[in-house]
């Protein structure tokens, strides 16, 4: 039942898994045969018995499109042509977690708060295709209705409130943002697929976060941009490859350990110490020279100081 605030409380509890489970990224279509569409139009026998030209094929494809869109404003419509329906918010009861991965075509907002809460905002026709489960402390949010022909992108938004997170992984293509400052002792931001089968994760979603973190780790190997502000005591940043960027001029880092093998520039503010290796094309551009510098430049990329 909907509350006055418009948030529906759903008693949906993710199954606790005791062993690692591989996340399925296959788009799940309804148990629905294309043959049934032709039967509805009385032309299945024609297809089986006749040879037809390109014009006939076009007509048949138009018939499929018509059949799939005439009743798509419901939970039962074909995924690719299904309309979203009215936008609603659903609060989901979930097991405890300290790590999160967001899969295809969902934006996510992270807030720090004393009570864990997960709210899914999406079209009423799409909610049943959003899967949430906790595996070894990691909340996995999967969009089984990522195929869209007539819907806008980014309709589904996830809001996550947690007293403590240690890891956020993007596999979505949409933005990961913070609402307020995330004051977690140790936080890892991941946008990489180096340790799994190629293309298992999408690696092009951006992070836009305000942080107050003791130890920050970033690993990326493709297209994600990291727009970061706040304060960090120790940062360990690794770009294995790719065109991703760091925009952290407003993030005050005391000590940074870096490995940059990407093609694009990083912009950072490091106060005390910076060490590591630049062996790609991308430069590391600092506002000022830190107290201690121990960086090897082994390829085209350079360590650059703007104000020296």
> Rounded mean pLDDT of 112-135?
95
Structure tokens at 169: 């992984």
Which of 11, 42, 77 corresponds to the end of one domain? 77
Among the ranges given (11-20, 82-91, 99-108, 182-191), the one the predictor scored with the smallest mean pLDDT: 11-20
Among the ranges given (16-30, 36-50, 82-96, 271-285), the one the predictor scored with the smallest mean pLDDT: 16-30
pLDDT tens column, 287-299: 999 999 999 999 9
The pLDDT of residue 71: 42
Among 54-58, 204-208, 263-267, the range of highest mean pLDDT = 263-267
Which of 52, 77, 102 corresponds to the end of one domain? 77
Q: Residue 61: is it exposed, middle or buried by C-beta count within 10 angstroms (0-12/13-18/19+)?
A: exposed
Structure tokens at 282: 């991308």
Name the domain count of the chain. 2
> What's the CATH number where 180 sits?
2.160.20.120
Q: CA geometry: angle at 188 spanning 182 and 194, to 5°?
A: 150
Cβ(188)–Cβ(207) under 8 Å? no
Q: Is residue 122 part of a domain?
A: no
Q: Does 187 score more than 50 pLDDT?
A: yes
Among the ranges given (41-45, 103-107, 254-258, 261-265), the one the predictor scored with the smallest mean pLDDT: 41-45
Q: Is residue 226 part of a domain?
A: yes
Q: Is residue 183 part of a domain?
A: yes
pLDDT tens column, 200-248: 566 678 999 999 999 999 999 989 999 999 999 999 999 999 999 999 9
Q: Is residue 182 part of a domain?
A: yes
Q: Is residue 66 part of a domain?
A: yes
Q: Does 54 score more than 80 pLDDT?
A: no
Q: Which structural domain, as residue segments, surrounds residue 217?
A: 174-308
Is 302 found in the same domain as 186?
Answer: yes
The pLDDT of residue 139: 98
Q: Is residue 120 part of a domain?
A: no
For the chain, what is the mean pLDDT?
A: 81
Q: Rounded to an integer, what distance in angstroms lies between the CA atom of residue 190 and that of residue 237?
A: 10
């Amino acid at each position: 039942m909907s509350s006055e605030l418009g948030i529906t409380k759903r008693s949906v509890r993710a199954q606790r898994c005791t062993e690692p489970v591989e996340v399925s990224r296959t788009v799940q279509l309804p148990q629905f045969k294309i043959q049934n569409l032709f039967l509805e139009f009385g032309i299945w026998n024609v297809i089986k018995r006749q040879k037809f030209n390109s014009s006939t094929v076009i007509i048949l494809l138009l018939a499929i499109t018509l059949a799939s869109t005439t009743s798509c404003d419901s939970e039962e419509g074909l995924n690719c042509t299904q309309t979203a329906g009215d936008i609603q918010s659903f609060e989901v009861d979930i097991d405890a977690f300290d790590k999160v991965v967001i899969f295809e075509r969902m934006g996510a907002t992270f807030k720090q708060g004393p009570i864990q809460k997960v709210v899914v905002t999406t079209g009423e026709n799409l909610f049943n295709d959003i899967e949430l489960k906790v595996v070894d402390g990691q909340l996995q949010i999967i969009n089984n209705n990522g195929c869209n022909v007539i819907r806008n992108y980014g309709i589904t938004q996830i809001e996550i409130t947690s007293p403590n997170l240690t890891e956020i992984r993007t596999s979505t293509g949409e933005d990961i943002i913070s609402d307020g400052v995330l004051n977690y002792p140790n936080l890892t931001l991941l946008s990489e697929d180096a340790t799994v089968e190629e293309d298992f994760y999408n690696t092009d979603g951006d992070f836009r976060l305000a942080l107050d973190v003791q130890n920050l780790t970033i690993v990326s190997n493709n297209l994600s941009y990291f727009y970061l502000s706040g304060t960090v005591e120790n940062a360990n940043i690794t770009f294995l490859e790719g065109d991703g960027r760091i925009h952290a001029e407003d993030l005050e880092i005391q000590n940074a350990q870096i490995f940059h093998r990407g093609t694009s520039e990083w912009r950072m503010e490091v106060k005390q110490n910076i060490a590591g290796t630049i062996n790609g094309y991308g430069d590391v551009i600092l506002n000022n020279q830190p107290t201690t510098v121990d960086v090897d430049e082994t390829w085209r990329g350079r360590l650059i100081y703007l104000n020296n």
